[in-house]
Amino acid sequence: MYSELLWIFTQLPDDYIVLDTETTGLPDENGPPDIVTLGITVVRHRDIAASVEFKTRPQKSISSEAQSIHGISNEQAAGFDSFDSQWNQIVEYLQDQLIIIHNASFDWPILLDHVARYDLSMPSVQGVFCSQKATIPWAQATDFPCSHRGPSLDSLTKALEVEDLRAKIGGAHGAAIDSQQTALVVEAIRDQESVSELSD
């Protein structure tokens, strides 16, 4: 029921990347937060082919709230390499790809802010698809738990009965593992049998 509201997922290509970040906190009066880790999962032929995490040294202090989510302290982050020193490696994953992000309105502007801040060049990409916002019409029609951003990754993981990767590491968030989790959820949604089960 209402699976037609998830039709856009069936139009996604079989090859794409998923991007996720863990940051120093939330945007505030001083601008966007800094990236602490950036995770990228490569999907080829609808299967996870690779996953990588870049640990980047932030210029801003990590808030206590952010530390409680991803478990990275300011002392640990001080030993990471700078964002700009790793950009060429990151670009290799982004170049000419469709980028899927769960909550793209948060992660993507932060990435663009770093590119501008360090005077770097953004590669050409096919586009950015927000897997969270794309599920809002379906969630609203089915009374599925949904904030203004869309259903959470955790709620979709549970509803779709997708393997919970976070549970294996005590529930902690991480950029690489969250990007993998998003890939699993996206592919489950693309499976029309799963969509029908979810919508019932």
**Tens-digit pLDDT profile for residues 87-143:** 999 999 999 999 999 999 999 999 999 999 999 999 999 999 999 999 999 999 999
Query: How far apart (Å, rounded) are the C-alpha atoms in residues 30 and 27?
Result: 7
How many CB atoms are located within 10 Å of the residue 82 CB? 12
Q: The whole model's pTM is what?
A: 0.94
Bridge-based pairing of strands 47-55 and 35-44 is antiparallel
Give the pLDDT score at 51.
Answer: 97
Angle at 152 between CA 126 and CA 154, to 5 degrees: 110
Q: Name the residue among 137, 148, 115, 149 with its Cα closest to residue 189.
A: 137
Find the distance separating the first CA and the last CA of the chain, reported in whole Å: 6
Looking at residue 57, what is its pLDDT?
A: 98
Q: What domains are defined for the chain? A: 3-193 (3.30.420.10)
Residue 2 is predicted with a pLDDT of 80
Q: Please, what's the b/e burial string for 108-136 (b: 16 or more CB within 10 A of its CB; e: otherwise)?
A: bebbebbbeeeeeeeeeeeebbbbbbbbb
Segments of the chain scoring below 50 in pLDDT: none
Report the pLDDT value the prediction gives residue 168, as an integer from 0 to 100: 77
Q: What is the pLDDT of residue 195?
A: 61
